[in-house]
Structure 1
Amino acid sequence: MAWWLESFTLYPALFFSCVFLVSLLLGSFLNVVIHRLPIMMEREWKLECAEALELSGDQATLKTGTLNNGNFNDGYPAQYNLVVPGSACPHCGTAIPAWRNIPLISYLAQKGRCHQCAEPISVRYPLVELATALLCTLVAWQLGPTPQFLAAWLLTLSLVALSAIDLDKMLLPDQITLPLLWLGLLLNIDGLFASLSDAVLGAAVGYLSLWSVFQGFKLLTGKEGMGYGDFKLLALFGAWFGWQAILPIILLASVGGAVVGITLMATGKLAQGKPMPFGPWIALGGFIYLLWGPQLVSWYLSAALGA
Structure 2
Amino acid sequence: MILDPVGDAVLAGVLGLLIGSFLNVVIHRLPKMLEQQWAAECAQYAATAQEVEAALAPPPGPAFSLSKPRSACPACGHMIRWYENIPVLSYVALRGRCSACGARISARYPLVEIATGGLFAFCAWRWGITPAGAAWGLFCALLVALACIDWDTTLLPDDLTLPLLWAGLLASALQWTGVPLFASVMGAAAGYLSLWTVYWGFKLATGKEGMGYGDFKLFAALGAWFGWQALVPIILIASVIGALVGIALKLTSGLREGGYVPFGPFLAGAGFTALLFGPQAVMQALLGLLGL
- Which segment drifts farther, 119-128 or 28-37? 119-128
| 2:61 alignment partner AA | G
Give the 5 Å matches for 1:281-300.
281-293=266-278, 295-296=280-281, 299=284
Aligned residue among 226, 239, 249 for 1:241? 226
- For 1:170 and 1:190, locate their aligned partners in 2 and report how far apart those are by CA, in whole Å: 33
Give the 5 Å matches for 1:30-179.
30-53=23-46, 57-63=47-53, 66=56, 71-72=58-59, 74-76=60-62, 78=63, 80-179=64-163
Q: Deviations over 1:54-96 (max 9, x none)?
A: xxx33342449945xxx22x222x4x20011111111111211
Shift of the 197–88 alpha-carbon distance from structure 1 to 2, 3 Å rule, reads: same
Which residue of structure 1 lines up, in the alignment, with residue 181 of structure 2?
A: 196
Q: Deviations over 1:121-161 (max 9, x none)?
A: 22221121112112222333333333321100011011110
Give the ranges of 4+ consecutive aligned residues of structure 1 lying more than 4 Å apart after TM superposition. Answer: 300-304
- Which segment drifts farther, 129-138 or 277-286? 129-138
User: Contact 2:234/2:279 (CA < 8 Å) preserved in 1?
Assistant: no
Shift of the 240–272 alpha-carbon distance from structure 1 to 2, 3 Å rule, reads: same
Query: Whose radius of gyration is greater, 1 or 2?
Result: 1
- For 2:61 and 2:287, locate their aligned partners in 1 and report how far apart those are by CA, in whole Å: 57
Q: Deviations over 1:271-304 (max 9, x none)?
A: 7951101001101111221232254277369859
SS state of the match for residue 269, structure 1? coil
- Which segment drifts farther, 238-247 or 166-175? 238-247
- Given the two structures, how large is their TM-score scaled by the length of structure 1? 0.87
SS state of the match for residue 72, structure 2? coil
- For 1:256 and 1:35, locate their aligned partners in 2 and report how far apart those are by CA, in whole Å: 25
User: Contact 1:248/1:296 (CA < 8 Å) preserved in 2?
Assistant: no
- For 1:44 and 1:63, locate their aligned partners in 2 and report how far apart those are by CA, in whole Å: 17
Give the number of aligned pairs: 290
User: Contact 1:249/1:282 (CA < 8 Å) preserved in 2?
Assistant: yes
Which residue of structure 2 lines up, in the alignment, with residue 13 of structure 1?
A: 6
Which residue of structure 2 lines up, in the alignment, with residue 214 of structure 1?
A: 199
Give the 5 Å matches for 1:223-234.
223-234=208-219
Shift of the 167–263 alpha-carbon distance from structure 1 to 2, 3 Å rule, reads: same
Higher relative contact order (CA 8 A, sep 6+): 2
- For 1:22 and 1:191, locate their aligned partners in 2 and report how far apart those are by CA, in whole Å: 24
- For 1:180 and 1:269, locate their aligned partners in 2 and report how far apart those are by CA, in whole Å: 30
Structure 1 spans left out of the alignment, 5+ residues: none
Shift of the 273–18 alpha-carbon distance from structure 1 to 2, 3 Å rule, reads: same
User: Contact 1:139/1:291 (CA < 8 Å) preserved in 2?
Assistant: no
- For 1:31 and 1:104, locate their aligned partners in 2 and report how far apart those are by CA, in whole Å: 12
| 2:84 alignment partner AA | R
| Aligned-residue identity in percent | 51
- Which segment drifts farther, 127-136 or 212-221? 127-136
- For 1:203 and 1:184, locate their aligned partners in 2 and report how far apart those are by CA, in whole Å: 9
Q: Deviations over 1:110-129 (max 9, x none)?
A: 11111112222222211211
User: Contact 1:47/1:64 (CA < 8 Å) preserved in 2?
Assistant: no
- Which segment drifts farther, 142-151 or 16-25? 142-151
- For 2:287 and 2:96, locate their aligned partners in 1 and report how far apart those are by CA, in whole Å: 49
Please provide the CA RMSD for this pair.
Answer: 2.3
- For 1:294 and 1:158, locate their aligned partners in 2 and report how far apart those are by CA, in whole Å: 19
